[in-house]
Structure 1
Amino acid sequence: MKPARGTRLVEFAALDDPGAKGFSFGSGRDRYECFVVRWRGVALAYDNVCPHARTSLDWQPDAFFTLDKSALQCATHGAQFDIASGHCFLGPCKGRSLTRLPVDVDAEGWVVVV
């Protein structure tokens, strides 16, 4: 189950730039996973689901980047995604994209679902 509009996910200042933090809501068949990325001073969020194998991207908690932090990477088959757009440019799902979760930073500095 996706988080409701207005749900606070993380304090923006608590994220490195670049940095990411994963979240899980619900359980079982209703479980929903997403992650927030801080990239070049902007907050972005994506569903934590690779469009190729439908697996989580992170290989350990909050590990969503390539080693040089130039792209997001799926731990299952190594697909790489543009951080700003979620577009896959390398790997088995090339040409497809991650699903964006709309977020913004509120007046108190929290990344919130919009």
Structure 2
Amino acid sequence: MAVLRPNQPAPGTRLIALAEIPAPGAKAFTFGAGKERFECFVVHWLGGAIGYVNECPHARTTLDWSPDKFFNLRKDALQCGTHGALFVPESGHCFLGPCKGKSLIRFPVRLDADGWVVVAEDTPAT
């Protein structure tokens, strides 16, 4: 099992009903405050949910350029609001920008039987 970061929600924590996130779209979450806060986001993509830590691998800033705005205008890639890097939504891999070749850190989520996005046990491979 992956090591939890400070204030990272525990496995089993319900975050949001997937139907509440536009498709494609994303929703940000913050747990805790200050230097110990944990920021993540859930992407509604191709009918499923994918979670990422909300941190660009280049500048370590959050990706969203406005609250819950993670996609580029064409809604076919995640875009960093700081330097414009583009990421593949299903893998988090950066294909354009200053962090090309690097990837976002996965945050483990799953869908429960009621359609809620829930924090999962293990971190998927990146």
Q: Same fold (TM over 0.5)?
A: yes
Alignment correspondent of 1:42 = 48
> Is structure 2 residue 114 aligned with structure 1 residue 103?
no
CA distance in 2, matches of 1:39, 1:93: 22
Deviations 1:1-37 (A, max 9, x none): 2111111111011111101100000011110100000
Separation (CA, whole Å) in 2 of partners of 1:56 and 1:15: 19
User: Structure 1: which 5+ runs fail to align?
Assistant: none
In the other structure, the counterpart of 2:89 is 83
Distance 1:51 1:19 in 2: 21
AA partner of residue 45 (structure 1): G
3-state SS, counterpart of residue 19 of structure 2: helix
How high is the TM-score relative to the length of structure 2?
0.89
| Corresponding residue to 2:34 among 28, 34, 37 | 28
1:54-84, Cα deviation, whole Å (9 max, x unpaired): 0000111000000010100000000000000
Q: 2:19 aligns with which of 13, 21, 30?
A: 13
RMSD of the TM alignment (CA)? 0.6
Q: Percent identity?
A: 64
Q: Distance in 2 between matches of 1:76 and 1:21?
A: 18
Pairing partner for 1:92 from 89, 98, 115: 98
Structure 2 segments unaligned to the other structure (5+ residues): 1-6, 121-126
Q: Which residue type is aligned with residue 85 of structure 1?
A: S
Runs of 4+ in 1 over 3 A off after TM superposition: none
Kindly state the Cα deviation for residue 109 of structure 1 after the two structures are TM-superposed: 1.3
